Amino acid sequence: MDAFYVAVEVQKDPTLAGRPVVVGGAGRRGVVASASYEARAYGVRSAMSSVVARRLCPDAVFVHGDHARYQEVSGHLHEIMHRFTPVVEPIALDEAFLDVTAAGRLHGGPEVARRLRAAVAAEAGLSCSVGVARSKLLAKLASEAAKPRADHRGVHPGTGIEVVDGAAELPFLHAHPVRALWGVGPATLRRLEALGVATVGDLAAVPLDVLVGRLGQAQGRHLADLAAGHDPRPVVADRPLKSVSHEETFETDVDDSRALGDQVVRMADAVATRLRHSGHVGRTVTLKVRYADFTTVTRSQTAAPMDEGPALARVAKQLLTTVDVARGVRLLGVGITGLEPSGQRQLSLDGLFADDGDPGGGAGWTSATSAVDRIRTRFGSGAIGFAAAASDRPDPGRSRWGPDVAERST
């Protein structure tokens, strides 16, 4: 999708159309989640701090964002995509790979892309760009080539559809900067630049043993394959969920362990609620702490499968006692991995003999938890929670892009 979050906000408020709009946290520690092409013309980019964005484009309209609405629209988009093929692999709310081998044989790849764009425009009222190619890597690069562009001269419309095939594949791939490859971020880019690699073409000329020596087996081989145009990864529908987490950056650093403990309970409850909605239980609880200097530590512990807030909170609070919070905590997070479908849950001795008096003890919380779920379904997520979780930030979804002070400001 093209500037997805912004496009959804413009649907809600058409007066935003054609203006520089930034979706993200407007506070001191907020970042840009999405910027309209008009804002990008001023140099505003996603993941940029909101302070910098405001400096670059003082006239931009800052909108907090409505994640629930984006999810809803995303669901509609996926419905549309599934009409073209059952093999849809979501990458993000606004992006997906579609294996249209069958439909493409019938109509031709570009024709499928044209119909998809038309359906998205007609039914969702949104603009998307489509790349058509034999592999995920080339399709991804092609879709980026099809997108609109913005620079200091203004906004330039994109082609909407780009097809890369046959003899055009390698020249197209090799002309890209190496940073365009999936898996090359700032750290890998520094290592590759040290080898004199600037483009994918440069990378393709580096001997495999040199790459493996610098980047390790997995990444070295992976990048060598991509640079040679080999990307056999299939489009996989229904990827299993691997982890669920919730983290928040505080407006100011917190060094009070009791206050942090209360936050842990609230976050554990949020994670457990999502875990139950996804129909999973998890075993390994991870606590994440980021300090003012941005160093980040994690602590994890594996226990019996769980999907209830008190059980998760008990482990996470125990982990909290193993880190130094007196330094001041900028970000706190709670997550769970080692997921399996809740139907496969095994009874633990702990759960069988647990006493209800201990939060997290086990079986005794199940009926209370399902009652909480029913109340939330009926009256909203803020309707009920654990006492320790009560705070002035009742809806975690509101703080997705950093602590915020203003719902909207110009």
Partner DNA sequence: TCTGGGGTCCTATTCCTA
Partner DNA sequence: TCTGTAGGAATAGGACCC
Alpha carbon 9 to its chain centroid, in Å, reads 19
| Residue closer to DNA, measured from CB, 103 or 269 | 269
Cα 277–Cα 279–Cα 283 angle in degrees, nearest 5: 110
Q: Print the SS3 string covering the chain.
A: CCCHHHHHHHHHCHHHCCCCEEEECCCCCCEEEEECHHHHCCCCCCCCEHHHHHHHCCCCEEECCCHHHHHHHHHHHHHHHHCCCCCEEEEECCEEEECCHHHHHHHCHHHHHHHHHHHHHHHHCCCCCEEECCCHHHHHHHHHHCCCEEECCEEECCCCEEECCHHHHHHHHHCCEHHHCCCCCHHHHHHHHHCCCCEHHHHHCCCHHHHHHHHCHHHHHHHHHHHCCCCCCCCCCCCCCCEEEEEEEEEEEECCHHHHHHHHHHHHHHHHHHHHHCCEEEEEEEEEEEECCCCEEEEEEEEEEECCHHHHHHHHHHHHCCCCCCCCEEEEEEEEECCEEHHHCCCCHHHHHCCCCCCCCCCCHHHHHHHHHHHHHHHCCCCCCCHHHCCCCCCHHHHCCCCCCCCEEC
- Shortest reach from residue 367's CB to DNA, in Å: 26
**For DNA, which is the closer residue by CB, 117 or 140?**
140
What is the C-alpha to C-alpha distance for residues 200 and 229, in angstroms, rounded to an integer?
Answer: 10
Q: Residue 3: left (phi > 0), alpha (psi -120 to 50), or beta?
A: left
- Select 193 or 358, whichever has its Cβ closest to DNA: 193
Output 165 or 247, the one with its CB closest to DNA: 247
Least distance to DNA, CB of residue 356, Å? 26
Minimum CB–partner distance for residue 301 and DNA (Å)? 4
Query: CB 347 → DNA: shortest distance, Å?
Result: 17
Which residues form the interface with DNA (CB under 7 A)?
A: 25, 28-31, 33, 46-49, 51-52, 91-92, 94-95, 140, 181-189, 216-219, 239, 241-249, 274, 283-284, 294-302, 322, 330-331, 333, 335, 337-338, 396, 399-403
Q: How far is the CB of 189 from DNA (least distance, A)?
A: 6
Task: Extract the tokens encoding 64.
Answer: 């907090």
Nearer to DNA, 217 or 370 (CB): 217
Nearer to DNA, 3 or 103 (CB): 3
Active site residue 251: no
Whose Cβ is closer to DNA: residue 85's or residue 263's? 263
Q: How far is the CB of 18 from DNA (least distance, A)?
A: 24
Q: Smallest gap, in angstroms, from Cβ of residue 310 to DNA?
A: 19
Tokens 């093209």 belong to residue: 2
Q: Which of 9, 72, 79, 95 is catalytic?
A: 95
Q: Would you please indicate which residues are annotated as catalytic (active-site) residues?
A: 95
